Amino acid sequence: MKWIGFLSLVALSECLVTIPLTKIKSMRETLREKDLLKDYLEEHPYSQAYKFLHEEPGATSVPMRNYLDLYYVGSIRIGTPPQEFQVIFDTGSADLWVPSIYCSSPACLKHSTFDPRRSSTFQKTNQPIELHYGSGSMTGVLGYDTVQIGELVDTAQAFGLSRTESSKSLEYGAFDGILGLSYPNIALRGTLPVFDNMWKQGLISQNLFAFYLSSNEKKGSVVMFGGVDHSYYKGDLKWVPVTKQGYWQISVDSISVNGKVIACDGGCQAIVDTGTSLLIGPRYSVFNILKTINAWTTKTGEHMVNCNAMNTLPDIVITINGIRYPVPASAYIRQSDVNICYSNFEDTLGNIDLWILGDVFLRLYFTVFDRANNRVGLAPAVE
């Protein structure tokens, strides 16, 4: 069961082998240096602009849409001829699934559904599947077909065809399915995840992918496969070893405010998860943070903050592998349309001693997921 991952709607070894990253010096960077990037994007259709700005041999980028700072959705195509779906690219899970014509759940009736009868390359199985997420679950059957992600054509890819989908989150979400990008050992038994299959088929030049997440529904969010475009971040990437292969799990040194440790004292473990919207941690640690920012809890369990405090509250600093990663109040507090403010910190269910660094953190830091070296790269994202 994947208890972490998509839609929190309330929300290595000791010696690393270093390989050079493909820095995609694209038209985007040239336009940015000449202060022409904004005009170019406004004058060209969004998807076509990004095709020209990012398309390089052995690497591809897929634009994503920020939906209310809750999750990021991009387009993929499945089958021959291709059928299009909007999916969450989720580093907190490992499987791909989309709704199917066999599903009669309300969530399926409101989204695009895959029809295997229309695809000449579909291979059926009778293997039932069941997947659980933080905000819903699905049951269905396993199939194989061609999956196109940007310019990449991934053949004979295992994916789930849903028969049932639970929860209002799936029903009203602005996405059809989930595309997992975690390690294969947490994928459905006997299957190879999308990214692993792309690498196995030689579709990408380097065994890594990266995310740039924009904020406040701004355009520009992108997931890139097989290379890194350094125009999306400032300074140098700082590398963090993966401590446990499954989710993208790393060690955190501490969480502090004004030099005082308020959580993760002595170190803790965290998961870097593009499919979770908030910063989530153990209950006792989150309680200390909420107390520090003078938050109070409502009868419905939401943590509210005085909106005026957003300009005065200090950064909360997450130190990882000796590097400080500040999270300002403007990131850890969210403001509603009616001028009510909430904390973007939430506690985990139960007594699980694990942090989840979700989109609140990842909007601030461009992130590279390096499977070749089992490490995560972080650098301040451009605004």
pLDDT tens by residue, 25-72: 344 444 454 455 555 444 444 343 344 344 445 679 999 999 988 899
Residue 361 belongs to domain spanning: 238-380
Contact status, residue 263 vs residue 288, Cβ threshold 8 Å = yes
User: Same structural domain for residues 112 and 143?
Assistant: yes
User: Same structural domain for residues 223 and 247?
Assistant: no
pLDDT at 212 over 80: yes
Sheet holding 260-263, edge to edge: 260-263, 254-257, 316-320, 323-327
Chain segment 4-33, per-residue pLDDT in tens? 444 433 332 223 333 333 333 344 444 454
In this structure, is residue 8 part of a structural domain? no
User: Same structural domain for residues 368 and 259?
Assistant: yes
pLDDT at 348 over 90: no
pLDDT value at position 219? 81
How many structural domains comprise the chain? 2
> Which amino acid is present at 96?
L
Query: What is the distance between the alpha carbons of residues 383 and 379, in angstroms, rounded to a whole number?
Result: 12
pLDDT at 163 over 90: yes
For the entire predicted model, the pTM comes to: 0.85
Query: What is the distance between the alpha carbons of residues 307 and 292, in angstroms, rounded to a whole number?
Result: 15
User: Same structural domain for residues 86 and 127?
Assistant: yes
Out of 201, 232, 263, pick the residue that ends a domain: 232
User: Same structural domain for residues 225 and 341?
Assistant: no
User: Same structural domain for residues 92 and 130?
Assistant: yes
Chain segment 242-283, per-residue pLDDT in tens? 999 999 999 999 999 999 999 999 999 999 999 999 999 999
Stronger pLDDT, 218 or 227, i.e. the higher one? 227
Query: What is the distance between the alpha carbons of residues 367 and 55, in angstroms, rounded to a whole number?
Result: 19
In this structure, is residue 208 part of a structural domain? yes
DSSP result, 65-107:
EEETTTEEEEEEEETTTTEEEEEEEETT---EEEEBTT--SHH
Q: Report H helices in the chain.
A: 27-33, 37-43, 46-54, 106-109, 168-172, 194-200, 283-292, 329-332, 359-362
Contacts by 263-268 with C-beta closer than 8 Å and gap 24+? 263/288, 263/289, 264/318, 264/355, 268/353, 268/354, 268/355
Q: Taking the CB of residue 315, how many other CB atoms lie within 10 A of it?
A: 17
User: Same structural domain for residues 161 and 227?
Assistant: yes
Helix (H), strand (E) at residue 123: strand 123-133
Q: What are the φ and ψ backbone dihedral angles of 288, each rounded to 5 degrees?
A: -65, -40
pLDDT band at 241 (very low <50, low <70, confident <90, very high): very high
In this structure, is residue 364 part of a structural domain? yes
* Range 227-254 burial, b when 16+ CB lie within 10 A, else e: bbbbbbbeeebbbbbbeeeebbbbbbbb
User: Same structural domain for residues 69 and 214?
Assistant: yes
Contact status, residue 290 vs residue 343, Cβ threshold 8 Å = yes
User: Same structural domain for residues 221 and 298?
Assistant: no
In this structure, is residue 2 part of a structural domain? no
pLDDT value at position 55? 44
Half-sphere exposure of 156 (CA within 13 A, CB side): 5
Q: Which of 84-88, 107-111, 180-184 has the lowest mean pLDDT?
A: 107-111
In this structure, is residue 19 part of a structural domain? no
In this structure, is residue 353 part of a structural domain? yes
Contact status, residue 376 vs residue 272, Cβ threshold 8 Å = yes
Q: Who contacts 217 (Cβ-Cβ below 8 Å, separation ≥6)?
A: 66, 67, 68, 69
Out of 184, 208, 232, pick the residue that ends a domain: 232
User: Same structural domain for residues 201 and 281?
Assistant: no
**Burial class for 349, CB neighbours closer than 10 Å (0-12, 13-18, 19+):** exposed
In this structure, is residue 6 part of a structural domain? no
Contact status, residue 252 vs residue 267, Cβ threshold 8 Å = yes
- Mean pLDDT, the chain, integer: 86
Three-state secondary structure call for residue 196: helix
User: Same structural domain for residues 202 and 244?
Assistant: no
Out of 174, 197, 232, pick the residue that ends a domain: 232
Question: Which stretch, 55-69, 160-174, 186-200, 335-349, has highest mean pLDDT?
Answer: 186-200
**Burial class for 44, CB neighbours closer than 10 Å (0-12, 13-18, 19+):** middle
* Residue from 318, 295, 304 nearest 10 by CA: 304
CATH number at residue 283: 2.40.70.10
User: Same structural domain for residues 208 and 222?
Assistant: yes
Instruction: Report the catalytic residues.
Output: 90, 273
In this structure, is residue 195 part of a structural domain? yes
